[in-house]
Structure 1
Amino acid sequence: MNLLFLTLGNMDNVHERGIYSDLVREIARRGIQIYVVYPGERRTSLKTEFTDIGNIHLLKVKTGNITKTNLIEKGISTLMIERQYLKAAKKFFSNLSFDLVLYSTPPITFSAIVQYYKKQGSKSYLMLKDIFPQNAVDINMIKPNGMIWRYFREKEKKLYKVSDTIGCMSKGNMNYLLNHNSFINREKVEIFPNAIEPVEMKNDEMIDAGVLEKYEIPQDSILFIYGGNLGKPQGIDFLLQVADHFHQVENGFLLIVGSGTEYDRIKDHLKTFHHKNVRLIHSLPKKEYNFLLKKAEVGLIFLDPRFTIPNIPSRLTAYMEHSLPVLAATDKNTDLKTILADSKSGFWSESGDLESFIEHARIFANNSNLRNEMGKNGRNYLEEYYDIKKTIQILLKHC
């Protein structure tokens, strides 16, 4: 069996942990030949390259810069990527047929390449991770009903129509999709959550302590960690409010790790106010970040309060894997709050409700038994519902 996977994720190290790399490895373990097409951005790649690693076949296509660049270059590169992927796939996979074409959003511009392989008999599966352009409208990056919106809305519809099956991250995500796209047949939509390959977390006290010392984090503090993208979708205004008031959390230490368009803004803000119990670190190698997760006591999630789309950030699975209770501040539309309540693995506050967020942080800081209990609950929930070994069955039944 052959499966084609189109992604914007960096797959240079397919053995690295992550929702897409874990998915690829699990498919390969099932004896399936999986062909992965992913971008080699201009800043790092000189040419298109093809590599075989057992059942995993990697086609790195030279593209424009998609990440860590301005909106104009990102937009142009995203629009060009479909043609670049299709050209490379035709060249390197000319003698192959695929049982299933798998792809995720972003981007929403893969309809032509999906249609090309459907005409050859492939089935198609969309992993819906991002509902664009509405998410950009929500945070005022695109004008509703404007020319840009209309262009991408048509692209979005084409992608939904060409997809035989659409896998949504959560029930709320699925209901939103169906309620706002009446042309979609409900029968072809299902829940396919973010999932990983859970591994046992072993502590190395010497190494872990050294990481805390390196970043000047007090050994006896209660470490609250946020790790991930630092952009407009994360609701940075509220994150900065939390930083300004985190001194109210006795013995609490707020660590922010990541990169993105708002990183410099956060850096300048923290430099101005000199918070003693808040630290900002630029994105780290995965291994070192995982050492920090091992020493953390609480995992944080932030989303902009204006979102109307139920988003489920992938960092939730990383926190659950490390048995970290979760403290989330998001829009009121996401069903993340329902997931936290059902799993008994954390607290939720609406983004902007500073009093509620700080109170929840205080509760965590003052109750180690609660932290441990909620952390274990999250790990158990991960193993039950977000283990790629189990969720992969949802996908493979369509092959």
Structure 2
Amino acid sequence: MNIIFLTLVEINSIEERGIYQDLLRKFRNEDHDVTIVTPVERRRKIPTNFSEKEGVSILQVKTFNIQKTNIIEKGVGTLAIEYQYLSAIKKYTSHKKYDLVLYSTPPITFAKVIELIKKRDHAKSYLLLKDIFPQNAVDMNMLSNGGFLHKQFLKKEKKLYQISDKIGCMSPANADFILKHNPEIDRKKVEVNPNTIEPVNFEYSEVEKNSIREKYQVPTDKKVLIYGGNLGKPQGLDFLLETIEKNDSDQIFFLVVGSGTEFFKIQKWFNEKKPYNAKLLQKLPKEDYDQLLASCDAGLIFLDKNFTIPNFPSRLLSYLEMKMPVIAATDPNTDIGNIIEEAECGYKVLAGNQKEMQEKLQLLLNTDLKEMGENAGKLLFNKYTVDQSYHLIIKEIQDV
């Protein structure tokens, strides 16, 4: 099968680790022909180009800066990317006929690109729904509910769902939300196809773990709880900082690692408060981060309490891969907390409820972390490996 994958994630190598790279590598390893269409932001000063390496084709499309930039350029860039992709695909892929066009949200502005490939090649289409936009922007007060831009984006969202032969959602709550708010969608089009990875075994001895902690000046005699990943507004990180400040246990140490729009705000808080029980580190290279993560005892997930959409952060998979218990402090609409509690590998907390958070932290201290960690590993292998996602896509596209 010839597959073309459209994404806003910058992919330079199929051998990198990540939810998209892992899935695409699976397709390649199963002898499918894979073309990846990925942005290269103008700050990189690289022109649009087409190359073949590592058994796949990569079409880099020069775009505006769309990540970690101001809201105006991000908005313009997101709207312009559809036409930039259209132009590049017409120019560089006319020699190929695709059977499947695979794409993820964000963005929701790929409709014309998808329609071109479907019409030109009689291809099937599969949406990996990773982001429910524009509602998430409304929840974060980045878009005015019912405003002009909101209405325009809603039209694009519904168009994307309409032209998709299949829609893979991250969780049952995710799928229910889409169907409830888009009753025109045929229920048969929607299925649960969550974030998945190709797991790697990270087994370190206690000596090795202590050595890694010492490298980053992290205590070796405390339970280290790590929050790793994007430090942005959607994560509701004020609650994380409040959690650090309110926790007076001499057995817990918080480690915050990442980058994002809120990093400097968090850095300022750390500089002013100088917490004795926490440390902030900027984003690390993937290999270094994985080693540090493997030396920790439990993972933390935070989501803003105002979300009405059921987000399902991919950072969960990193924690499960390390066989770590998880505490998820989220809005009441996501089902990520229910899933980890049902699997007996962690606890859920309602974001903003500090009393409940401190209770769950204490509960974690009194829990057999090894047993919970084993349950975390089982959850990963039962639900979140690329094999499962791959077979869902192949099966459903063949059945369309």
TM-score normalised over the length of structure 1: 0.96
The answer on whether the counterparts of 1:26 and 1:388 sit within 8 Å (CA) in structure 2 is yes
- In the other structure, the counterpart of 2:2 is 2
Runs of 4+ in 1 over 4 A off after TM superposition: 204-208
Residue 261 of structure 1 pairs with residue 261 of structure 2: yes
Tell me the CA shift for residue 269 of structure 1: 1.0
Question: Displacement of 1:87 after TM fit?
Answer: 1.0
Partner of 1:108: 108
Give the structure 2 partner of residue 129 of structure 1. 130
Compute the displacement of 1:207 (Å).
6.0
Secondary structure of the corresponding residue to residue 280 of structure 2 = strand
Equivalent residue number for residue 375 of structure 1: 373
Kindly state the Cα deviation for residue 51 of structure 1 after the two structures are TM-superposed: 2.3
> Is 1:224–1:298's contact at 8 Å kept on the other side of the alignment?
yes
Residue equivalent to 2:142: 141
User: Could you tell me how far apart the structure 2 residues matched to 1:251 and 1:353 are?
Assistant: 21
Does the aligned pair in 2 maintain the 1:7–1:103 contact within 8 Å?
Answer: yes
Query: 1:208 deviation in Å?
Result: 4.4
Matches within 5 A, 1:209-220: 209-220=210-221
Alignment of 1:281-320 (within 5 A): 281-320=281-320
Instruction: Find the aligned partners of 1:44 and 1:203 in 2 and give their Cα distance.
Output: 37
Deviations 1:14-66 (A, max 9, x none): 21211101001001011000100001111124212222124311111111111
Moved more, 213-222 or 18-27: 213-222
- Contact kept, 8 Å, 2:128 with 2:167, in 1: the verdict is yes
- State the alpha-carbon separation in 2 of the partners of residues 365 and 51 from structure 1: 51
**Cα shift at 1:127:** 0.5
Count of aligned pairs: 396
Which residue does the alignment assign to 1:321?
321
Tell me whether 1:81 sits opposite 2:88 in the alignment. no
Contact 1:250 1:362 in 2 (8 A): no
Letter in 2 for 1:243: I
Match of 1:178 in 2: 179
Q: What is the alpha-carbon distance in structure 1 between the residues aligned to residue 249 and residue 353 of structure 2? A: 16
Q: Is the 8 A contact 1:24 1:56 kept in 2?
A: no
- Tell me how far 1:205 sits from its aligned partner: 6.2
In 1, distance between residues paired with 2:371 and 2:13? Answer: 34
Which digits, 9 at most, give the CA deviation of each residue in 1:267-317, with x for residues without a partner?
111111110111111111001100111111000000001111111100111
Q: Cα deviation per residue 1:328-372 (whole Å; 9 max; x = unaligned)?
A: 1000110112211221110000000111111211222344xx211
Change (3 A) 1:128 1:291: same
Contact map agreement 1:36 1:59 (CA 8 A) in 2: yes
Contact residue 167 and residue 191 of structure 1 kept, 8 A: yes
**Higher mean Cα deviation, 85-94 or 31-40?**
85-94
Equivalent position SS for 1:142: coil
Decide whether the 8 Å contact of 1:22 with 1:196 is kept in 2: yes
3-state SS of the aligned residue for 2:44?
A: coil
What amino acid does structure 2 have at the position aligned with 1:197? E
* Aligned match of 1:52: 52
Aligned letter for 2:371?
A: E
Deviates more, 1:202-211 or 1:101-110: 202-211
Segment drifting more, 337-346 vs 45-54: 45-54
RMSD after superposition = 1.3
Q: Which residue of 2 aligns with 1:279?
A: 279
Separation in 2, partners of 1:303, 1:274? 24
Distance 1:383 1:45, change over 3 A: farther
Q: What is the deviation of 1:251?
A: 1.6
Unpaired stretches in structure 2, ≥5 consecutive residues: none
C-alpha displacement of 1:206: 6.6
Q: Which runs of 5+ in 1 are unaligned?
A: none
SS at match of 1:228: strand
Normalised by the size of structure 2, how large is the TM-score? 0.96
Q: What secondary structure sits across from 2:43 in the alignment?
A: coil
Residue identity opposite 1:85 in structure 2:
Y
Letter paired with 1:379: G
Distance 1:345 1:225 in 2: 15
Q: Any idea what the Cα deviations from partners look like across 1:87-135, whole Å, max 9, x if unmatched? A: 1111111111110000000000000000111112011111000000101
2:243 aligned with 1:245, yes or no? no
Relative to structure 2, which stretch is displaced further, 145-154 or 237-246? 237-246
